[in-house]
Amino acid sequence: MKPLAGQRVLRVAVPVPLHGGFDYLAPSDTPPDPVGHRVLVRFGRRKLVGIVVAADVDSELDVDRLKSAETLLDDTPVFDADQLRLLHWAARYYHHPLGEALNTALPVVLRRARNDQTPSRYRAWRIAHDEHPTDLAARLARAPRQREIFEWLASAQAPVDHSQLKERFTNAAATLRALVERGLIEPVERPGGLIQGRMGSAPQLTDDQAVAVAALRAVEPGFAPTLIEGVTGSGKTELYFRRMADILAAGGQVLFLAPEIGLTPQLIERVQQRFAARIGVLHSQRSEGERGDVWRAARAGEADIVIGTRSAVFTPMPRLGLIVVDEEHDGSYKQQDGFRYHARDVALRRAQRAAIPIVLGSATPALETLYNAEHRRYGHLRLDQRATGARLPPIEVIDIRSRPLLGGLSDPLLARIETQLAAGNQVMIFINRRGYAPALACHDCGWIAPCTRCDAPLTLHGGMSRLQCHHCGAAEPAPRRCPSCSSDQLIALGAGTERVAGALRSRFPDVAIARFDRDSMARKGRLEAQLADVASGRTQLLVGTQMLAKGHDFARLTCVGVLDVDGGLFSADFRAAEHMAQLVTQVAGRAGRADLRGEVWLQTRHPDHPLLQKLLAGGYRAFADAALAERREAALPPYGHLALLRAEATREAAPLEFLHAAAALIDAGGDPACWGPVPAPMQRRAGRFRAHLLLHATDRAALHPALDHWQTTLADLPQARQVRWSIDVDPQDLL
């Protein structure tokens, strides 16, 4: 039915797990083009913030029965047309409801029903004197702190944020007051979110870098993806910077994506010390308010560079001229719940739509990316030498099959650590498991402390004192006696970061040791403080999880030990070996950065494993070639395409019943084909039983129609009411 004269209808994407838009009558003050605006609507009994995705639509519903939208919340749209198209694509590709996808892309402050698009204002400082700063600085000769801050402000091209100064200088507030009293500086209010960078000098490019920069500059205008495959320390970041400088000079904006653990203070600092640009930083350590500010500034075109983690890929940037995806292989680019997008793949699509270059960089590219580069879908540049001339360290194996371990450490490794420490060097021990030990067991009867809600043992924390489940969060004090046979012979099985650090502490009592994992880094600012101690050389021994694997550059780090690589060799997840090889190569890249020779030791019980052998003999590329051959054999990605249908329920049989019904909707013997369903490798988690069904297609184009069909029919299956289900396109994790 046609709307009544003058009665406009809006189609609104609402953040609910339902597909399609919902129609509402437009409020009277609706602007001529409200698409991309947030709107408050009544949905059932709730009021939700939706996004107008179309205006003046011909509703299929009876207009008299349509509800009126409550209010439009913005004066300007939160999403422009390009962003909406990108998100429409992503919602379709990942088979996720549009309203939820849009909601995920919005910063949290804008998910609320408030018109708070005006950025917060922050206090900043600038020089308040006409006299030449050098002369003024000379007057501060006897006040070194004041002089330091003064010179810092004088060298900046714009006011510097108070918070930035506080982070950088001790006792900044008092020093700033003293400078104000002298009449040398003054406060100003600055719109929030952005950091002002300063122009820094660029190093002379190495020959390899120069060739690569020339190649990056030679690409045709328009969409141009390039993979930079460069060993750790080869100067990839310098290449990004050169391209960024070109784009910024031409008036473009740059989006720089980094994985959560790669987005270190060091990287941000480097960007800030290089470009006299307005820089927005988006990552989980920033407050919601700050993130909202960066987002608004980017959309207004005020941010020149946005540097951020996964969700930053959705930042609106009207003058976007380049996307950089650093460490493109990193697993954190894939969102593992809700809207399960892959930020690298969304970034590629975004660059394609915007017809701009995109640079993917890694020392250990994902097998999919290597495949695309080899099939000439991407430009492919290689840097095989370190920029500083340092040599890559040799990787050697320690067979621990019949060796006693002290807190997870073998004797040969301890001996190497001792030698390196004695020489005044730094050593990093990497173990991808936090806590004291992965299990508590009874020596007499073999009982292992289980999680009552998961098919997994509990992890020991705080020495032998506490038990914690890493899957559901359950926590309890550790028993003193075995609940099964009352023996008091309880032992910790295996080792986590805490136990390794403890063993090293007792073996090297005079050495400063720092632990890096999610538990020890929970407090804000702790990571930065610990990293500063490592950089200064005070901390000599580092023990940590993958948090340590990337982005850090320590001059005296010469020895890296990796304690368990075997998990990656024998896993239900076909990507596990790839992840193991990437991790080993990345952590190895931390060793011997400057003039000191590095060495890397892997402890394993499977020194003859073929993929491990490839990695040791020929490096990541040899490994990747072998792994790609295995994938081709098994028709796994990139040679086949996958989607995973997950289901979980409190009743054990319900997930499989649902998945069998889902499989019956797919033509048997065609493309795509159903692999499964099967119970998940960890069948019970947080009290729910889990199973999954893989949809495998030889032809990617075949996958999506089947998923479309599922998407519209699965919810109506009678078995669907018994389970929670979700579709995961290009799943990264099959566990």
Binding to Zn ion (CB under 5 A) within 419-478 occurs at: 442, 444-445, 447, 451, 453-454, 469, 471-472, 474
Phi (first) and psi of residue 48, to 5 degrees: -125, 155
Choice from 487, 650, 712, 713 touching Zn ion (CB under 5 A):
487
Check residue 230 for interaction with ligand ADP (CB under 6 A): yes
d(CA 715, CA 486): 50
CB-based burial, 424-442: b 16+ in 10 Å, e otherwise: ebbbbbbbbbbbbbbbbbb
Nearest to 561 by CA among 462, 439, 419: 419
Is 586 in contact with 456 (CB distance < 8 Å)? no
- Residue 554 CB, nearest approach to ligand ADP (Å): 11
Choice from 59, 226, 232, 369 touching ligand ADP (CB under 6 A):
232
d(CA 467, CA 450): 10
d(CA 149, CA 160): 10
Residue 180's binding partner among Zn ion, ligand ADP, none (Cβ under 5 to 8 angstroms by kind) is none
Check residue 237 for interaction with ligand ADP (CB under 6 A): yes
CB-based burial, 61-83: b 16+ in 10 Å, e otherwise: eeeeebeebbebbbeebbbbeeb
* CB nearer to ligand ADP: pick between 237 and 545: 237
Contact flags string 548-577 toward ligand ADP, x per CB under 6 A:
-----x------------------------
Check residue 235 for interaction with ligand ADP (CB under 6 A): yes
Check residue 546 for interaction with ligand ADP (CB under 6 A): no
Check residue 238 for interaction with ligand ADP (CB under 6 A): yes
Would strands 513-516 and 541-544 be described as parallel, antiparallel, or unpaired?
parallel
Query: Looking at residue 2, what DSSP letter applies?
Result: P
* CB nearer to ligand ADP: pick between 35 and 587: 587
**Three-state secondary structure call for residue 350:** helix
Q: Degrees (nearest 5) of the Cα angle 673, 677, 678?
A: 135
334, β-bridge pairs: 342
Query: Looking at residue 127, what DSSP letter applies?
Result: E
* CB nearer to ligand ADP: pick between 103 and 364: 364
Binding to ligand ADP (CB under 6 A) within 371-410 occurs at: 387-388
* CB nearer to Zn ion: pick between 6 and 483: 483
* CB nearer to Zn ion: pick between 385 and 468: 468
Check residue 236 for interaction with ligand ADP (CB under 6 A): yes
Choice from 234, 272, 372, 558 touching ligand ADP (CB under 6 A):
234
Is 268 in contact with 341 (CB distance < 8 Å)? no
CA 296 to chain centre: 22
Neighbours of 569 (CB within 10 A): 17
Residue 445's binding partner among Zn ion, ligand ADP, none (Cβ under 5 to 8 angstroms by kind) is Zn ion
Contact flags string 242-281 toward ligand ADP, x per CB under 6 A:
----------------------------------------
- Residue 41 CB, nearest approach to ligand ADP (Å): 47
Residue 454's binding partner among ligand ADP, Zn ion, none (Cβ under 5 to 8 angstroms by kind) is Zn ion
Choice from 54, 205, 448, 661 touching ligand ADP (CB under 6 A):
205
Check residue 485 for interaction with Zn ion (CB under 5 A): yes
Residue 447's binding partner among Zn ion, ligand ADP, none (Cβ under 5 to 8 angstroms by kind) is Zn ion
d(CA 337, CA 406): 38
Question: 659 Cβ partners below 8 Å, 6+ apart?
Answer: 645, 647, 676, 677, 691, 692, 693
* CB nearer to ligand ADP: pick between 230 and 280: 230
Check residue 233 for interaction with ligand ADP (CB under 6 A): yes
Residues near Zn ion (CB under 5 A) are: 442, 444-445, 447, 451, 453-454, 469, 471-472, 474, 482, 484-485, 487
Residues near ligand ADP (CB under 6 A) are: 203-206, 209, 230, 232-238, 387-388, 553
